[in-house]
Structures are given as structure tokens and as C-alpha cells.
Chain A
Amino acid sequence: MALDRRTFLGTSAALTAALAAPMVRAQATPRVVVVGGGAGGATAARYIAKDSEGAIDVTLVEPTRTYYTCFFSNLYLGGFKEIEDIGHTYGGLAANGVNVVHDWAIGVDRDARTVSLAGGASLPYDKLILSPGIDFVDGAVPGWDISAQNAMPHAYKAGSQSELLKAQLMAMPQGGTYAMVAPPNPFRCPPGPYERVSMVAHYLKANNPTAKILIADPKEKFSKQGLFEEGWANHYGGMVERVGPDFGADNVEVDPTAMTLSIDGVVENVDVCNVIPAMKAGRIAELAGVTDGRWAPVNAADMSTKADPDVYVLGDAAQQGDMPKSGFSANSQAKVCANAVRGALTGSRVFPAKFANTCWSLIETNDGVKVGATYEATEEKIAKVDGFISATGESAEVRKATYEESEGWYAGIVADMFGASA
């Protein structure tokens, strides 16, 4: 094993050298390129490299050196985590034999099987895995575009956006209004906006108790609604107001300069405006020509795209069926994909696809809830098999245990994505 590992590290050093001088490598080892080092991409890259023990060259393309998890970024807003707690680097992946390239993928030539990078390099692949997460749909919220993200942050990609939103929250005048424009389905992390409202309320209750939270929501219903509404009533009585489509919240407009939000023509002055627009697959999926509409349709058995059997799409960007767009789902899909890709390239055993998801949300200190399900691959889609959800009225002890479990899960998934040293 030790010897294997040394030879392997040798190869990957050679690979780095080859990359530095972009030229065609005469090499029989099959090549996998992974674009996006988040929940889906980091997991897929790590599993393929770790399990193939050098039989496959794995290159991960990811522009940022520190990945801030969206999961637990709401807890950062609430003051339960520091920003460093949710930042992770890629050293553990390199130790697992993944060649990490910090750059943007800007194009895919599916005929030549190459990925072009902003830095000028071109990476050849036998199998390409895209896990680019989400981008926002242009014009989804009239008055808002990506250039307005500093005035009206989305904080739906974690990191500087999360820090900005937190700074705005802390700077709110006493008795001010925190507004959220919630997204239409389907979107990343269905309970995410509502967990965020809970965490904002937790902060305001202690620091700005006369403040208000206003949610403009184009959806009639939302994830874990009963649990959230029970929690808001119990912990934050009267602070949270949600306007649904029945009162015109499917017709909103914002003005980032005047800091106003208009709901069905009624204009409100707000102090923070957290705009979470409609979403679509990360742009590289579209550039690769594997999307149909906003998302990339995939085959449930291995996450290969309907458009190209050698291009796979994981996580939020994929249109796969019943799984919610979550980090847990992306991680689960990545492991199924890794097994299939390895099988296709090296003949290793391929096992049937099994998927699972659980999403925890924190409503108030030690008041955690969860929803989860298992899934299988059918011809048509990833189909739900079985599921569960926390009950309303559970004991404080169960809710505390649920929260502690979510801490355990966070440590687990991060180790699973980045390797134990992350």
C-alpha cells in the first residue's frame, strides 16, 4: 500500500508538470475531469481517486481556494458558527491523489473531449463530471441583477455574500425591516430560506427585538412549513410575516438604490433586502450543451447526461427526479457516479445506485428538525422510496438531539468531501 501510494503521488506530480506546459500527454491512464469542487464535485473527485488507486487520473477544476459551505451558513448568520468554521481547503483532496487546478472552466468541446480553462489550458478527458451548482435566472426579480448583489445580497452562494448579509443584519436600525424575496421551485435547499429566517430572527430577538422580518414568497407552500411556523410562533411570536402568492408575492419588484420592495404594487421601505432569485444550473452546464431549459437532465443509474454518455452532471445543476437540491443529495449522487465512472474506465465492479438525503434545519438554540428520504434509480428518474420528517410538538430533548446530530452530519459530510484533514 505504502509503495502504491508513492508511485501514485509520483504520477500525479508528473501530471501537474504536464498541465503547467499544456501539451498532449502520451498516456494510457484514463482521465477524468471534474468541474466544481463543492458537495458533488469534491466528493466525486475524491472517491474516484481514492478507489482507483492511481488507475485513473483525476483533475478537479475549482476557482476558489477556500470553499465555504452553504450548509451551516445560516448558522453563521445566527451567530452559531464563525465564518472559518464553514471554510474548507483542498489539501485533503490532493493528499487523496486528486490534481486540483484553481481556475474557471469556460468551455467544453464535447467532440474533441476537452475542457478549456480561463487561464488558457485545455484539459483532455475521457469522462467529464460537472458539478457547478447554481446560477441565477436573469430578470427573475424585476429590478435585481447580479450587479445589485452588494446592495441586496442573495447569500445563496456562501462566503463573502454571507459575510455581507450578516454585516447588513447587524447594521439594521432598531425596529427596522429585514425583507426576503424567496425563490420559486425548484431551487437549492428547499428549507434554506426558512432556516435563514429562523436564524435572522434568533439574532434580532437578542439584538433588535422590535425589528420585523418580511418574506415575499411566490410559493403557496414550503418545505417543513408546519415545523417552521410552529417554531416561529413559539420562539419569535409576531416577528415573522410571510406574504404568499395569494397576496401578490408572485409579483414583486425591488429597487436596490432606493432600498424598496414592492409587493403587488405596494411599496415598502426595507433596511435589508435578501433577494434569492429563481435558479438554474451553473453556466458551464449550459456551455457544455447538456442542459434542457434551466437544468441538465440525467440518467438516474449513473448521473450521465441525456445529451452525452461521457458527460455527467451532479448536484443542484442536475434534473434527476425526486431528490431535493441539497449538499447531502449531491454527495450521495457523487458516490453513485464515481462507482459507475470507475467501472466504465477500469472495469471495476459496478453496484446498483442507491441515494439518500437528510436536511436538518435549526429553528432556535437546540431546536433542530429534519426531513429525509431514500431513493432508487428507475428508467425514468431518481424515485423516492421512503421518507420521514420531524413531528410538530416533539420534546425539547429530541430537538436537541436532532441538532447535535446535524453537527455530527456536518463533520461527516465535510470529511467525506474533502478527506479527513479538511
Chain B
Amino acid sequence: MRLAAASLSLAAALSIVAVGVSAQGLGDAAAGEKVFDECKACHQVGPGARNRIGPHLNGLFGRKAAGLEGFHYSDSLRRAGTNGLEWHADTLHAYIENPRAFASGTRMSYRGLKDPEERADLLAYLRGYSDAPIDIPEADPTATATDHDLDPAILAIVGDPEYGEYLSGECTTCHQADGNVDGIPSITYWPEEDFVVAMHAYKNKQRSHPVMQMIAGRLNDEEIAALAAYFKDIGN
């Protein structure tokens, strides 16, 4: 299942900052090899690459997220894979820029690579270690190198926790207020920023879960901020 719909609306809905990357998604592989230094502490790529702290990155393009047998992924990334997330230029751009937008509980503790040109170079490099790179489109048709980060103005909104408490009634039908997990993840005691980023990722359809897309889809920026303010420190 490709995330065609997701990438379409991703381009449409996120604040798009077109950047001057020539190949529209993929850059210069040689330059990318140097950028890969950022990842080497945890990832291997190339002949004989094995899983280390992070999974090996051979054959990454077209691979289902959290798709390697034998690597212990986070539940978060595994869920994203079940929901249909696959690695392509567009999704990789977004993940590498801000790993937590896709999967809040990802085990990849990496702050993100913010420079779009570096990301494009890095992806060109990694693409060389996927099967038949010739057949991999330089960039997915809908994907331009976009800025996947949320508008800082959205992150700066100060939420009204009392409104958040009221709105949380819609959430606690599924997400248990005491943080227990029985098949639906816990959303209590989250840092506000992670919460806001995750909710906007559903709203923008960057994350592909239909229930959460619907729920986040009708919350406005203030309401998301209010919920984040409430859930950051709810007790029992």
C-alpha cells in the first residue's frame, strides 16, 4: 500500500517552503555519504551491513516501515508500518527531518536533520543501496522537498488546559485517562511539543490512521494546543 494520498495532502497541507533542491527530492550521492556520518553511530548500510542500534538501511526504498524481521522496533513505528507507511523519498524526508512526527514513540533518538539539501543528498546516497536504484523514481511524483516542520507559530500557541480537559472527554473513550495501554497507545504526560506535532501529523494525513485522522482533522490549532496543555500533566 503506497501512501500516495498521504503524500499528496502532506504537500498540500503542511506549510510548504519550496527549496532549491535540483532533483526534487534526491540530491548528490557523494555529498550524501558524508552526511551519513550523522547516522553511523546507529546504522549500517552497504555490503554486509547488519542491524546495530538501528536497523540496517540496505533495500530501504519501498520497504515497509519497521519491516525487517529480527530487529526490535518500537511499537510506534511498528504501528505506522501496519497502517501502511512505506519508505520512499517523501516519507523518508519527513521521517529524517523529524522522526517523532511519524512515530511519537520511535526509538530513534535523533533530533532530526533540518537542512533539506543535506537530506536530499543523504537520500541519494541511501538510494544507491536499494535494489535496482535505476528503477526508483528520483522523487515520488507528488513529493517535492518540503519543510515538514510545523509552523513555529502553531507550536507557540499557549493552550487552555480547561478547554483541553473538556475536549479530552472525546479521547478518553479510547485512550485511558490513567495511561493504561490495552491496544491503544497512552497519551498522558507527553511533552506538549510532541503531542502537538503528533496531532498535526494526523490532521495533515502524514500519519495514516483513519480514526485519528478524523478526530484530529476537525480540531483547530487552539484546540490541539488546549489538549496538549491538558494531557501534559493529567493525574488520575
Question: What band does the interface of chain B fall in when counting residues whose beta carbon is under 8 Å from A?
Answer: 20 to 34
Query: Does residue B106 face the partner (Cβ distance < 8 Å to A)?
Result: no
Within B135-185, the residues touching A (CB, 8 Å) are: 162-163, 165-167, 169-170, 172-178, 180-184
Among A331, A358, A385, A404, the residue within 8 A (CB) of B183 is A404
Q: A401-B79, A401-B82 are in contact. Are A351 and B163 (CB under 8 A)?
A: yes
Q: Are A386 and B218 in contact (CB under 8 A)?
A: yes
Q: Is the CB of A407 within 8 A of B183?
A: yes
* B46 in the interface (beta carbon within 8 A): no
Q: Within 8 Å of chain A (Cβ to Cβ): is B59? A: no
With A351-B167, A370-B211, A413-B173 in contact, do A397 and B183 touch (Cβ < 8 Å)?
no
By beta carbon, the residue of chain B nearest A411 is B182
How many A residues have CB within 8 A of the partner chain? 37
Q: Which residue of B lies closest to A388 (CB)?
A: B210
B182 near A407: Cβ-Cβ < 8 Å: yes
**B217 on the interface (CB 8 Å rule)?**
yes
**A131 proximal to B (CB < 8 A):** no
Closest B residue to A387 by CB, please name it: B214
CB distance from B221 to the nearest CB of A (A): 16
Q: How far, in whole Å, are A187 and B183 apart by their CA atoms in the complex?
A: 29
Of residues 187 through 226 on chain B, the ones whose CB sits less than 8 Å from some CB of chain A are: 210-211, 213-215, 217-218
Residues of B within 8 A of A349 (CB): 162-163, 166
Contacts of A386 in B (CB 8 A): 214, 217-218
B184/A405 in contact, CB under 8 A: yes
Evaluate contact between B174 and A388: CB separation under 8 angstroms. Answer: no
Collect the chain A residues with CB atoms within 8 Å of residue B167's CB: 351, 354
| Across-interface contacts of B236 in A (CB, < 8 A) | 420
Q: Which residue of B lies closest to A407 (CB)?
A: B183
Bound form: Cα–Cα A384–B236 in Å: 32
Q: Are B166 and A351 in contact, CB atoms less than 8 angstroms apart?
A: yes
A374 near B176: Cβ-Cβ < 8 Å: no
Interface SS of chain A: helix
If A335-B169, A354-B167, A420-B236 touch, whether A411 touches B214 (CB-CB below 8 Å) is no
CA A328 to CA B169, docked complex, whole Å? 12
**Residues in A whose Cβ lies below 8 Å from that of B181:** 408
- Proximity bits, A382-410, B CB within 8 Å = 1, else 0: 00011110000001011001001111111
Question: Which residues of A, 42-63, contact B by the 8 Å Cβ criterion?
Answer: 47, 51
In the bound assembly, the distance between CA atoms of A356 and B214 in angstroms comes to 10
A309 at the interface (CB under 8 A from B): no
Docked pose: A335 CA to B166 CA in angstroms: 8
Inter-chain contact A374/B215, CB cutoff 8 Å: yes
Minimal beta-carbon separation of A322 from chain B (angstroms)? 15
User: CA A397 – CA B84 in complex, angstroms?
Assistant: 10
A373 within 8 A of B: yes
- Minimum C-beta distance from A24 to chain B (A): 34
CB distance from B76 to the nearest CB of A (A): 13
**A416 smallest CB distance to B (angstroms):** 5
Among A356, A374, A387, chain B packs the most CB atoms within 10 A around the CB of A356
Contact A335 B170 (CB under 8 A): yes
B174 close to A409 (CB less than 8 A):
yes
Across the interface, A412 reaches (CB within 8 A) one of B166, B184, B214, namely: B184
Evaluate contact between A412 and B176: CB separation under 8 angstroms: yes
Question: Which one of A332, A339, A405, A413 has the highest number of Cβ atoms from chain B below 10 Å of its Cβ?
Answer: A405
Check if A415 is an interface residue, CB within 8 A of chain B: yes
Cβ–Cβ < 8 Å partners of B174 in chain A: 358, 405, 408-409, 412-413
Q: How far is the CB of B63 from chain A (nearest CB, A)?
A: 15
Contact mask for chain B residues 53-89; partner A; CB cutoff 8 A; 1 contact, 0 none: 0000000000000000000000000010011100000
Min C-beta distance of A32 to chain B, whole Å: 17
In the assembled complex, the CB of B236 is this many whole angstroms from the nearest CB of chain A, namely: 7
* Residues 329-369 of chain A, each 1 if its beta carbon lies under 8 Å from chain B, else 0: 00110010001000000000101001010100000000000
The docked-state distance in angstroms from the alpha carbon of A221 to that of B216 is: 31
B170 touches A354 (CB 8 A): yes
14 pairs, A vs B, C-beta closer than 8 Å: A328-B173, A332-B170, A332-B173, A351-B167, A356-B173, A370-B211, A373-B214, A386-B218, A395-B1, A401-B79, A408-B183, A410-B182, A412-B184, A415-B178
- What 11 new A-B contacts, CB under 8 Å, besides A339-B166, A401-B79? A328-B173, A372-B210, A374-B215, A386-B217, A388-B214, A398-B83, A405-B174, A405-B184, A405-B211, A416-B177, A420-B180
